[in-house]
Structure 1
Amino acid sequence: MSTIPCPISGCGRPTRGATICGACEADLERALTAVPWLVAQLDLVLSRQTRTGSSGGARSAETSLPYAPHASEASRVLASTLTAWVDELRPAEPRRIGPLCERCTHASCRLMRPLAGRTASACAVWLRARVDRIVRLPVAEELWDEITAAVWAAQRLVDRPPERRYVGQCGAGLDDGTDCDVDLYARPDAAAVTCPECGTRWDVRWRRRRLLEAAEDTLATAADLARALTGLGHEVTPEMIRGYGHRGQIVPHGRDGRGRPLYRLADVADAVAAAAARRAERSA
């Protein structure tokens, strides 16, 4: 039995015969199980029937409106990610012959029944029924990266206010001649952050630009870059980055040990900014 470490970033548990480990398989199952509920919640946000605001304090209609564009994008990414993976895996599905109920809960019928309308929920159910086989495929890591990223992006919108994100060490000069080394965290929509140790107030956008400039030549996979750039205030998924690559908007700079293309962080950030500018121009 294989004891190769799980390739999922930050994991490393033994895979025991599969491409990814049992814990990451459970994460994938939970993500797919959550999709129908998430789709319904995103629809509610889009129709402004929910109130999404910061914790503690009144939730007014005004606080929900800025979330609608993000909910629309999260819903689109979720649906396109799931349907793309169904399209990828379905041709290899063995053909099944036998009685088929139109509506039932039989496991065999769920496997044979066509995908109704190719909705995000239907695709999630289809994939969920095949997780035990998916985790043994060579594409399991890539599938895990894309689906969990899309699901977690949607969950951030409907479950709770955005989390605080790292914006670097303070770095302010202190009276003793040293620099303050306290790590600073800010909400994604924060304009400024104050160091809890020395009281220095910093512009968040400036700090994120500095972090981005320091890491602009970093080469990494689409999944790792998506996590890094999201932490720096750019909402991007692995699927979006791979799409930029397929369309020639970014070019790979070599490949990692598993054959995955490596992209330059600054190139991806520029592609994200250009896409946002085009969306803004169309909606103007």
Structure 2
Amino acid sequence: MELRHLQHFVAVAEDQHFTRAAERLMVSQSGLSASIRALERELQTPLFVRTTRRVTLTQAGRALLGEAERILAQVRAAHEAVAAVQGVLRGTLSLGTEQCIAGLHVAGLLAAFRRRHPDVEIRLRQAGAGALAEEVAAGRLDLAFAYRTQADSDQLRSVSLTSEPMTVLCHASHPLSVAGATVAPADLADEVFVDFQPDFGPRRATDAAFARAGVRRTVSLEVNDVHSLLDLVGENLGVAVVPRHFRYKRASLTALDLKDGGEPVYESAALLPPPQATSPAARALMALLESGGA
């Protein structure tokens, strides 16, 4: 099994199309097809279901994809490690992040990283916590800053960044609007909620708090960015449960403490692959973050 076969396989799986994958890889379509056939012969099973419009992974193909992505990530890390020993950090830093991670200014951190390591290409992807964890575990991202969604495993580890309580935001004319007041999930059972999509960290933390309290809620207004959430609450269209630092983003809103027998907590972390698979660029970024060099 050759690395180029795995590279070709991953490209076709991502694009779900041989022609587009060939163009991206800058190889001929016939050569790409031959590479995939060689891999299928070696594994003695089809990896794709081919149609006239697109290709999809077979069950064997889905099983191979995660392993292939991890192998290629480790190969990239090996090349970058050698370059780092030679005194220059090169390669690519592929970073994922959720929006508005407390205590972390991502743009400032990346600017400081670029000043120190100008030969490293920075790629940034913004998504929800669950998707980011999957991409780090699969080797598609070097690391991510997100809500901690799971315990450490042999494919994913986490380094704690911050932990803060959850807060309820409402319009100043809302019946619950008493600055500094405390509410429980049961007090919000009949409210209209504004919230993020289910994969986002704050939504996961809120869902967990209400589940612990045995209170069902319906999110009527679902968004994928912070400003839209604050705008909807600002128009008195609903209430939102968010990490505490969000209260400082819109001074006109009333912030209420949320209790559920304990204190619902939003815990953010740096999500990384196992140490042996962590790229030199990711290690350098973490070192910069931990030193406060941003």
User: Structure 1 or 2: larger strand share?
Assistant: 2
User: Structure 1 or 2: larger helix share?
Assistant: 1
The higher radius of gyration belongs to 2
Same fold (TM over 0.5): no
Higher relative contact order structure (alpha carbons within 8 Å, sequence separation ≥ 6)? 2
Bucket of the pairwise TM-score, normalised by the shorter protein:
under 0.3
TM-score, normalization: structure 2? 0.23
